[in-house]
Amino acid sequence: MNTLAWAGRKVGGALVVLWLVASAIFIAIQLIPGDPAEAIMGGPGSQASAQALAAARAEYALDQPVITQYLLYLGKLATFDFGTSYSLKQPVTQVMGEVLPNTLWLSLMALAAAWLLALCFSALAMRAGRIGSQVGNLLEIIAAAVPHFWLGAVLIMLFSSALGWLPAVDNGTGHGLVLPILTLALPLAGFLTQLMRDSLSEAMGSQFALAARARGESRLKLFWRHGLRHATLPALSLTGWAFSSLLSGAVVVEAIFARPGLGRSLLSAVLARDIPMVTGIALFSALVYIVVMAISEGIERMINPAGESR
Amino acid sequence: MSRTAKICCLLVIGLWLLMALAPSVLAPGDPLAINPTQAFAKPGLAHFFGTDESGRDIYTRVIHGAGDSLAIGLAATALGMGLAIVLGTIAALSPRWLDEIILRILEALYAIPSLLMALLIIAFTGPGVGPAIVAVGLSTAPGYARLVRSQIRSLKNSEMLEAATVLGRGTWRKSRNHLIPNALKPLLALVTLGIGQAVIWAAALSFLGLGTPPPAPEWGAMLSAGRTYLHLAWWMSLFPGLAIVSVAVSATLIGRALGGKVKSL
Amino acid sequence: MSEQTLITVKDLSVSFDGTPAVKNISFTVQAGKVLALVGESGSGKSVTARSLLGLSGGTVTASTLDICGHDARSLSDRAWQKIRGNTLSLILQDALMALDPLRPVGREINDGLKEHTALKSAERKQRVLEVLKSVRMPEPDVRAKQRSTELSGGMRQRALIAQALVGNPQVVIADEATTALDSQLTALVLSQLRALKQQGRGILMISHDLAQVAHLADDIAVMRHGEFVESGPTQQILEHPQHDYTRKLLRAVPSSVPRFTALSDLGAEETTSPARKIQDSEQHSPALSVKDLSKSFGKHLAVSSVSFELPRGKTLGIVGESGSGKTTTARMVLGLEKPDSGTVELLGERFAPSTASQRQNLREQMGAIYQNPLGSFDPRYTVGQLLTDALSRGKSKRASEYRKPVTQLLEQVELSADLLARNPRELSGGQRQRLAIARALAPEPSVLVLDEPVSALDVSIQATVLDLLDRIQLETGTSYLFISHDLSVIEHMSDTVAVMHQGKLIEHGDTASIFGSPQREYTQKLLSAMPRLR
């Protein structure tokens, strides 16, 4: 399939997914018992003022039939109007705009760190003997199984309280980022390493690796020219999922390290049953996933044009 | 799988079950018993894992907390697997258009990571164990569903099934004898992996205050409490965390031993 | 005229973790001459080849290991890298896997230049195109940018050879370079090797098939269990073999061996008039009657108006290259593909297995054997379970009431009852194929469709399986539809032959006529490429 057709297909699919998520939220809202205006403004039995409720009714056209509400809802989303956050009394888009960059930045850096760590570990694992290999295997499994919230606490204990090298709370300098990024990156690195190691050893033991060595290539060049591509392929296809799980982890990490970001806003929105906020964040994370997936699929196609169709 | 490996796996699973169903065997005390004079006691003979801010014995709480965590993990995985098998099978065997629709739905589910999914559901329903189970189940389903679908699709056209056709077997017998067992085989290994992951996510929710309400000895909640006293009483955070990690790690190891490959997600 | 000796090997031994794989062998490779190492799988021939490149992976000792002037016994990794690709190079068996599927072939070839020359990028590109032209690659500039998966079989083979030549090596090692290739590709590789020989390079050919090397090799060394059993000039080995093992290998080659003459020790007794269960095949309707079968996949016409008959108790051989449509025809006969037009009649009745009521009974009359039997077995079943499943019509996997018939089936295919509890994965290629035959025979079919049943087997194993098939045909009167690209196997096994090319049945007749006096040009061309031993 040529690139244009593929891109078109991706965009179409993206729109469908976003529409599905938006519709699911809409249905969920309808299912909340009681006054819909209250539901939007903090859930049944909320403390919203009569004024706020009236404003909500007008904004969401709650007196109209459901279909009209639905279309209105979709229309607003399409123009990026997510409404006003009940708990923060600001337009959702504004709130998100303030905190998004933090979380995105954190996640991106964690993703990069995880990939780097995974590549290094895989390369190291290549040279390890049988025992080293088993140990490495176990370490990877442990790393992947460690929950963020615990890892964060451990890292704080170690590097902050005990050794005093790194601050536990962001103090404005870059140092404050190291621990949160590590906390996010390590479990993912463990997972990615397992993936990469399998593919890497498969590639290095294959016929074309033998042929390459028969041409005079050194092991290192073999890794660079051949092994790397094969190792990263399966990891690439999971990048979309990995990134969204990073976003997920960011929620926890921001809580532990007291950092402002999407995670914190989401948590307080959830506790306050602030539906517009929640809608905005849900759609945003879906969008992020789609974009990351598309990019990684694009890279995959470049590396492996003969890829299998799903 | 070697005999020693099999025995180890069974021992571990046995230990979990014991912790979940009969915690008093391993920890006869009361997990909720408050003892303010003994607050923040260091780990020692009297209290293996030390005590928390209200003097409750952490060892007892960790053991008793297993039941909740494991139950949520199991239930969520069961939900996710069940959904995955149904959706994956339908998608694999249906005409193109239905397959595409199901794929889109799966992608929509996949796009929202577990924690966010949980938070979304809780935003509408309020916190609790139920939403946690539903959330984790829904978010793990698409990964497994994709696996089921790709397995069935590749098996559908396999030489194995063709050979069965040539021998005269009908559709029903082919599905029953060959298609279904082989399609579900990789899932088996992933089930244990899934349980491990589910336990972690459930604990994460409690950590954020959205799961089992206090003072239940749930591991995530204990970690949350421990955070405040991190510098004072590190043992409050260490041991519940270790419990979570050990469940997840042993689940992974068992899954790997059963032949699960990480690639298949 | 003294030939220049390029490689001298004396007392070479290779062992892995203490287990010896090669024991004290000695040989030389000379410029402009071909040495063939012949043996079955596990004989150590590939290990020997790789140790010449320092890539065996085991412990290598030798009293002399001289590679074009380098003492290879004590070379450092770095020094090895300088020799590899430059002084000697390797052509592997499977072109699809020997070229990195993720990289354009031009780049793979370019790598060789990067390692050994100081040429600039543009000059290297030029060299790559030159070497591609020298192996007669069509449109070399286009092909260089493509990956091995995007090239046709022939082009892949050429790319594979090109990457071995780009460093201008003095010695070329061809490791099973023609195994599992159809006759066209085999002829291509052999002609390339011949050209290399004429250029004055030394060639070491590794193979399990004496027929393949017979025309090209100047000297042959027969290997077994890591040792040379016999070695000498080709003529001498082929005509006056000294050792029993060599004789066994020679006997196994089906080339020009008459029908029902045993190829191995397990063979059928030699009979001039074999007694067959089914008498006058003219009285009954033919086992298979195929009329005007056609099938297209999209725009591609795979099979076009094919008709033939298979008389009872006889073997019809269908021969053709890959892409000739023979497999599609077989699948239509088996009812796995629905023909666009045409009919298939089995034992005089219309074979249209879509009617459920007829399905079980009709289908049981026709069995199938594949090239790679492992793919057709359910991976969870053991040998015993597979056969029980076949005998019980899928109703049971492990019933003790089937114990006896299962054992009988195993006896019929000469497999030991010890194997009952094993998974087919643990069996050798030959044993797996026997198992497949046993399973196919369980419902006592009248017709067996065999699609490349021995192509993946070593010649000596192939011989035992072919003899087994002959014996079974004599005992049970089963008719065979035998499909292969290997002409010598077809000649040996078939009573009648059909030649297919690009979907059409080009020529059809009894074996003697087709092979003795082929009428059509394509058949003549095909036969001329056939490696003959005798």
Say if residue C415's pLDDT is above 60: yes
pLDDT in tens, C463-474: 999 999 999 999
What pLDDT score was predicted for residue C496?
A: 94
Note the pLDDT of residue B259.
64
Residues of A whose CB is below 8 A from C111? 212, 215, 217, 225
Q: Which pLDDT score is estimated for A310?
A: 32
Residue A1, pLDDT score = 57
pLDDT in tens, A123-175: 887 777 777 777 888 888 788 778 887 888 788 777 777 777 776 666 666 67
The per-residue pLDDT for A138 is: 81
List pLDDT tens digits, range B186-211.
777 778 778 888 888 888 888 877 77
Could you tell me the pLDDT band of residue C283, with boundaries at 50, 70 and 90? Answer: low
Q: Residue by residue, what is the 3-state secondary structure of A140-187?
A: HHHHHHCCHHHHHHHHHHHHHHHCCCCCCCCCCCCHHHHHHHHHHHHH
Q: What is the pLDDT of residues B61-98, one digit of tens each?
A: 888 888 878 888 889 889 999 999 999 888 888 888 89
| 3-class state of residue C423 by DSSP | coil
Report the alpha-carbon distance of residue B243 to residue B178 in Å, rounded: 40
Instruction: Tell me if C167 and A215 make a contact (CB, 8 A cut-off).
Output: yes
Q: Say what the pTM is.
A: 0.82
Any residues with CB less than 8 A from the CB of B32 and at least 6 apart, and which? B56, B215, B217
Q: What pLDDT score does C224 carry?
A: 92
What distance in Å separates residue A27's CA from the closest CA in chain C?
44
Q: Which two tokens stand for residue C357?
A: 């009521």
pLDDT at C2 over 60: no
User: Measured between CA atoms, how close is B253 to chain C, in angstroms?
Assistant: 22
Q: How much is the pLDDT for C367? A: 92
Task: Test B263 with A150 for CB contact under 8 angstroms.
Answer: no
Q: Which of A10, A141, A287 to mutate to test the interface with B (most CBs of B within 10 A)?
A: A141
Residue in A208, A233, A306 nearest the CB of C98: A208
Residues of B in Cβ contact (< 8 Å) with C397: 177
Residue A44 reports pLDDT greater than 70: no
Residues 6+ apart with CB under 8 A from A280: A82, A92, A93, A95, A96
Highest mean pLDDT among A247-256, B174-183, B254-263: B174-183
Q: Residue C399: is its pLDDT beyond 60? A: yes
Mean pLDDT highest for which of B10-14, B251-255, C58-62?
Answer: C58-62
ipTM above 0.95, yes or no: no
Rg (CA), chain B: 22
Q: What distance lies between CA C386 and its chain's CA centroid?
A: 26
Question: Does B161 score more than 80 pLDDT?
Answer: yes
Task: Dump pLDDT digits (tens) for B221-241.
Answer: 888 888 778 777 878 888 888
**pLDDT tier for residue B262 given thresholds of 50, 70 and 90:** very low
Closest C-alpha to A25, from B120, C150, C264: B120
Question: Using the beta-carbon criterion (under 8 Å), do A215 and C147 form an inter-chain contact?
Answer: no
